[in-house]
Amino acid sequence: MNTYMKLKFHHERNIFKRGQHKGDAPAGKRWRTWVRVVKGNNDTMRVRMYGTDILTAYPDGRVVIDTSGWYDRPTTRLRINEAFGFIPHFYMRLSSRKVFGLSQPTLYIGGKTYLYYDGMELGADSTNHIDCRSK
The residues spanned by each domain of the chain are 3-126
Angle formed at CA 26 by CA 54 and CA 16, multiple of 5 degrees: 130
User: What band does 28 get if pLDDT is binned at 50, 70 and 90?
Assistant: confident
- Compute the distance between CA of residue 70 and CA of residue 67 in angstroms, rounded to an integer: 5
pLDDT in tens, 82-103: 888 888 777 888 999 898 899 9
Mean pLDDT of 42-66: 91
Give the pLDDT confidence score for residue 36 in this predicted structure.
92
Mean pLDDT of 64-88: 88
- Compute the distance between CA of residue 64 and CA of residue 118 in angstroms, rounded to an integer: 9
User: Mean pLDDT for the chain?
Assistant: 85
Give the pLDDT confidence score for residue 39 in this predicted structure.
92
